[in-house]
Amino acid sequence: MKFPKTDLPLREPALLVLAYRYLVKDENGEVVETPEEMFWRVARTVAEAESFFGEDPEPWAEKFYHLMASLDFLPNSPTLMNAGLPLGQLSACFVLPIEDSLASIFETLKNAALIHKSGGGTGFSFSRIRPKGDVVRSTQGVASGPVSFMRVFNAATEAIKQGGKRRGANMGILRIDHPDIEDFILVKRDFKELTNFNLSVALTDAFMEALRKDDYFSLINPRTQKEVRRVRARRLFDLLVESAWLTGDPGVIFIDTINRDNPTPLLSEIESTNPCSEQPLLPYESCNLGSINLSRFVKEGQVDYVRLKEVVHLAVRFLDNVIEVNRFPLPQIARITRLNRKIGLGVMGFADLLIRLEIPYTSREAVRLAEEIMAFIERESVAASMELGQKRGSFPAYAGSVWDKPETPHMRNATTTTIAPTGTLSLIAGTSSGIEPLFALIYRRRAFDGAEWTEVHDLFLEALAHYGLSSQDIVSEILEKGSLRKISGVPEKLKKLFVTALEIPPEQHLAVQAAFQRHTHNAVSKTINLPENATKEEVAHIYLKAYEMGLKGVTVYRYGSRPEQVLRLPKDKCPDCGNTLKNREYCLLCENCGYSECG
């Protein structure tokens, strides 16, 4: 495939993924749109909402275009893919309810298929489904349990590509007090099981208290609300920790912590999140996400808060407009989404920002800056939403919400902030993913003709040149030894500044996540990367510490614990077409069909 022509500062990996997944193609599969035209397509579509409120769309379209084309901000992928096209579905994440009946289960499966086709990801709580072996009175038979139905959802997802551009992504959640929780915890120890699902156990305050006391814990049949049996909380926790240590699944969410921050508790409880767990949502709710590229907000050695404020306010308006022009896949989703009008403005490029400011990711200053930046974004995004609320009206579920108070008499959106992983978006923007540290300094490249070469992180090359060091020699040593810290002759300052994910202590990963979470309405997507020799005790400590710190969830990943991990050896194959996957900065890309995995 030819790279599209552009005058924008887009790197080769960005052009590749844009050509495969985002730019409009003709009936022969040939790209007929440039990146500039894509941004204009999106900008004009989103600006159409201005006319609903008596504004001229054209000047706003120009502002939205420059917001994206500058790579200061990018909306979630479905907005870039579908805006201005017949599909018109612009949301990234959805939660669908599942009740304890075949009719509900398969209605939800149908709805999930429609969402996947439109480019969205889905989250489900299977906690209402009766346990395996329970009575089914209508047939005088026995129930097969939630895990069996998850396999059905997984098979359906396998058959559907999201809009022909993205593979289906699911989050499956089960409460810790469900009688089938052991089966759920163990299921993905078989690497062939539930390959289209991320799994999370919903841990409750009651369970964490039983764990603290080393007490027994009741498992409850959701059909009868009666106790089935009692188990030691410690035994369940150890089983969960062992599975996460072995495979990276399941993660955990702290469901009571999430519901304490539910902005509209009168509507419903939150039971599930989107596939990467950064967006807790009510049943049938969707959310529109977007991320600010922090690496572009450095001016004279400091964070440029003046320009950041401008971008926050413009991004909030952009995301609110998306709700107006969105073509929702189901009427139930349109209803609840418009009731709450949740948006999720987050960040990417945090690691690159720290490098530009010469602040090590492992330092206290990094945590302090994380909190300062996110507090600023939260404060300004709320101010922007209040201004929109005064002009356009508050979200319809405002009465009785957490915003229904004198200090916020107008509020356009029930939430304004979310930290997403931004895998593909950060690839387009040419920056580090979300709030993650760098995973590596060096990446292998392969051209379409098969030629291979080594590419090094841009800021690392700049730093080597600044210190008068030979990039060729140091790159060769990193390839040989696997780490900058093992190389002699490199200043200690550089070793600290260019630390990578597996070299960072879990406590620092958690501290950064907590700093962002304290100023994020929704949740934070963050992986606690662990080296291959990490212990189960370290995983247990991470889970306990995350709960104590008030996090809404946590995911651990021990390097090499799954054969299909996101950053892996070049021999790994594309699940769509079987071609070899290639590392391209923060993603693996298939040069044959465009499949990608980013992290």
Active site residues per annotation: 274, 276, 278
Nearest to 281 by CA among 154, 414, 388: 414
What are the φ/ψ torsions at residue 120 (nearest 5 degrees)? -100, 160
Copy the structure tokens of residue 569.
């050896």
Q: Are strands 197-203 and 170-175 parallel, antiparallel or unpaired?
A: parallel
Residue type, 535: T
Q: Helix, strand, coil: what percent of the chain each, to 5?
A: 40, 20, 40
Q: Are strands 452-456 and 442-446 parallel, antiparallel or unpaired?
A: antiparallel
Copy the structure tokens of residue 108.
């939800």
Give Cα 481 distance to the centre of its chain. 32
Distance CA(206)–CA(210), nearest Å, equals 6
Copy the structure tokens of residue 212.
């603290």
Distance CA(453)–CA(234), nearest Å, equals 50
21 Cβ partners below 8 Å, 6+ apart? Answer: 77, 81, 165, 166, 424, 594, 596
Cis peptide before 250 (omega within 30 of 0): yes
Give Cα 364 distance to the centre of its chain. 25
Q: Are strands 121-125 and 93-95 parallel, antiparallel or unpaired?
A: parallel
Q: What is the DSSP letter of 110?
A: H
Alpha helices in 347-416 (DSSP H): 350-356, 364-392
**SS3 of 28, please?**
coil
What are the φ/ψ torsions at residue 191 (nearest 5 degrees)? -65, -10
Positive or negative, the CA dihedral 266, 268, 272, 273 is negative
Q: Residue 251: beta bridge partners?
A: 200
Q: Is the distance from CB of 552 to CB of 254 less than 8 angstroms?
A: yes
